[in-house]
Amino acid sequence: MSKRSLSFICQNCGAAASRWQGKCEACGEWNTLAQEGDERPAGPGRKASKGRLFALEPLTGEAHDAPRLPSGVAELDRVTGGGFVRGSVLLMAGDPGIGKSTLLIQATAALARSGHRAVYISGEEAVAQVRLRAERLGLRDAAVELAAETSVEDIIATLSEGKVPRLIVIDSIQTMWTELVESAPGTVTQVRGSAQALIRFAKKSGAAIILVGHVTKDGQIAGPRVVEHMVDAVLSFEGEGSHQFRILRAVKNRFGPTDEIGVFEMTGAGLREVANPSELFLSERDLGTPGTAVFAGMEGTRPLLVEIQALVAPTSLGTPRRAVVGWDPSRLSMVLAVLEAHCGVKLGGHDVYLNVAGGMRIQEPAADLAAAAALVSSLANSPLPADAVYFGEVSLSGAIRPVAQAAARLKEAAKLGFTRAVVPEAAKSETGEGGLKASTVANLTHLVADIAALGKTRTAGKTHGQDG
Ligand code: TYD
Ligand code: MG
């Protein structure tokens, strides 16, 4: 009997320990260590071979096919940077039920329809279930090759036969297992071993492989964080359960940009591409309510207008509540601190809630000005003009700093019927296009004064809660 060495592997980060511990020393997570068999090194009975000779090749040489293959789903191609790269492996991560399988069956069907060999391997659903879904999506006629398998060796053996597939979807990597590793499917070691084998197969055959990976509640790719380092690209599929919008984002991409997003809408007939997301995100606006501001943002090369909603209400708690959905909480704290310190807006006795409409998540500092405008508007109970957009970065001194791509933001706003823009001074020269009237603010104090003045003229004499 071969002696098996056992070690304890953290199911979160993949670190190994020689004995059980309550806390993983590498990532600090509790109760994540589990005993697993080692990935068999050259053990007894598996003598290291002498080594096969291989040919070294020059950089110049024949490149056979176009290295990139557009999927036929434009929003997906935008995120990957123009399509699937031959021999590359992509990890598609997302919450269970977000629509990963739906998107990928649609992508494989689109590829198959344009005459490429596309294979969909499901480790989670039976073939009949996948068929049923394809039927509902109207994809029955597409020549996708389907199987419900979980053994990596069987999958590789089968797919090595015949024409090399252009795309192979493995749904999901957590259900795969390889004989090379002696631990249960779903463990970090198995996931890593299976991913390694599939990556090797992709490089050797030239097929593009997409691995589906589930994400845990706290947003980590469950178990196989290790897989992130091994693959060429990681795409994250996000969305709020209660919204029909889904956003595909590149987290890592060896062959393309990481700042582009793809926007989809989940409908009864699968995922629909949204070519103009601003229209979608602004479609349910409540015009004339205090506490909402439209932010003219950028996602990669595409301008995106979203509504930022704020609610500032007197608190009954000792420590007022600050809650943010869709934006960075530390940026909210910063904007609140600047409002307090430089603009005389006292928020210590108020709860503050900030929400980005439509389930969108904003990462740009350019949203500072829109967030500040929404906050002040809510506090002053004074609605902002419905035809205005906002962008600009707030510095700690309260100055409004310029942001990149002002012209593209303004053009998009004009296209959607906005007539005013509140912008940093540097963006003034870029306005004028599409009849947009720009008012510049040099300092957050000016913005607060403008909004307060707006409230005064509107309510003609009534005083409102701008305390301080
Ligand atoms: P699915 O692709 O199975 O998610 P994942 O693979 O990420 O776990 O999507 C499941 C959800 O999508 C499910 O809640 C139902 C919804 N859905 C639709 O709304 N319309 C559709 O046409 C399909 C196929 C799914
Ligand atoms: Mg699925």
Each residue's pLDDT tens digit, 370-395:
999 999 999 999 999 989 999 999 99
Per-residue confidence (pLDDT) for residue 229, from 0 to 100: 87
The mean pLDDT value of the chain amounts to 85
CATH 3.40.50.300 residue window(s) in the chain: 69-275
What average pLDDT does range 319-328 have in this prediction?
92
Q: Which atom of ligand 1 is nearest to the CA of 102?
A: 2
Q: Are 169 and 210 in contact (CB under 8 A)?
A: yes
Q: What band does 47 get if pLDDT is binned at 50, 70 and 90?
A: low
The strand pairing partners of 393, in sequence order, are: 401
Q: What band does 462 get if pLDDT is binned at 50, 70 and 90?
A: very low
Share of the chain above pLDDT 70, in %: 89
- For 123-134, what is each residue's pLDDT tens digit? 999 999 999 999
Q: Which atom of ligand 1 is nearest to the CA of 266?
A: 19
For residue 229, with 0-12 CB atoms within 10 Å meaning exposed, 13-18 middle and 19 or more buried, which class applies? exposed
Cα-to-centroid distance, 459 and ligand 2 (Å): 53
Look up the CATH architecture of domain 279-467: 2-Layer Sandwich (3.30)
What average pLDDT does range 334-363 have in this prediction?
91
Per-residue confidence (pLDDT) for residue 302, from 0 to 100: 84
What average pLDDT does range 155-181 have in this prediction?
92
Per-residue confidence (pLDDT) for residue 231, from 0 to 100: 93
Q: Which of the listed CATH numbers 3.65.10.10, 3.40.50.10140, 3.30.200.20, 3.40.50.300 matches domain 69-275?
A: 3.40.50.300
Taking each helix axis as running N to C, give the angle between helix 444-459 and helix 368-379, from 0 to 180 degrees, rounded to the nearest 10.
40
CA proximity to 306, closest of 235, 196, 389: 389
For residue 300, with 0-12 CB atoms within 10 Å meaning exposed, 13-18 middle and 19 or more buried, which class applies? middle
Per-residue confidence (pLDDT) for residue 260, from 0 to 100: 84
Cα-to-centroid distance, 96 and ligand 2 (Å): 7
pLDDT higher than threshold 90 for residue 165: yes
pLDDT higher than threshold 50 for residue 261: yes
Per-residue confidence (pLDDT) for residue 3, from 0 to 100: 46
Cα-to-centroid distance, 97 and ligand 1 (Å): 6
Taking residue 263's Cβ as centre, other Cβ atoms within 10 Å add up to 26
Cα-to-centroid distance, 178 and ligand 1 (Å): 28
Per-residue confidence (pLDDT) for residue 466, from 0 to 100: 43
Question: Looking at ligand 1, which residue's alpha carbon is closest to its atom 14?
Answer: 97
Q: Which atom of ligand 1 is nearest to the CA of 137?
A: 22
The more confidently predicted of residues 409 and 241 is 409
Share of the chain above pLDDT 90, in %: 47
Question: Looking at ligand 1, which residue's alpha carbon is closest to its atom 21?
Answer: 270
Distance CA 87, CA 237 (A): 22
Q: Give the ligand whose atoms come closest to the C-alpha of residue 97.
A: 1
Cα-to-centroid distance, 123 and ligand 2 (Å): 9
Q: Lowest-pLDDT range, 100-114, 196-210, 310-324, 446-460? A: 446-460
Q: What band does 463 get if pLDDT is binned at 50, 70 and 90?
A: very low
pLDDT higher than threshold 90 for residue 257: no
pLDDT higher than threshold 80 for residue 201: yes
Q: Lowest-pLDDT range, 171-175, 193-197, 281-285, 401-405? A: 281-285
Query: What amino acid occupies position 46?
Result: R
Q: Which atom of ligand 1 is nearest to the CA of 269?
A: 22
The neighbourhood of ligand 2, an ion, using CB within 5 A, equals 101
- For 228-253, what is each residue's pLDDT tens digit? 889 999 999 988 767 788 889 888 89
Residue 295's contacts (CB-CB under 8 Å, 6 or more residues apart) are: 305, 306, 307, 308, 362, 366, 367, 370, 371, 389, 390, 391
Question: Looking at ligand 1, which residue's alpha carbon is closest to its atom 16?
Answer: 99
Per-residue confidence (pLDDT) for residue 44, from 0 to 100: 54
pLDDT higher than threshold 70 for residue 217: no
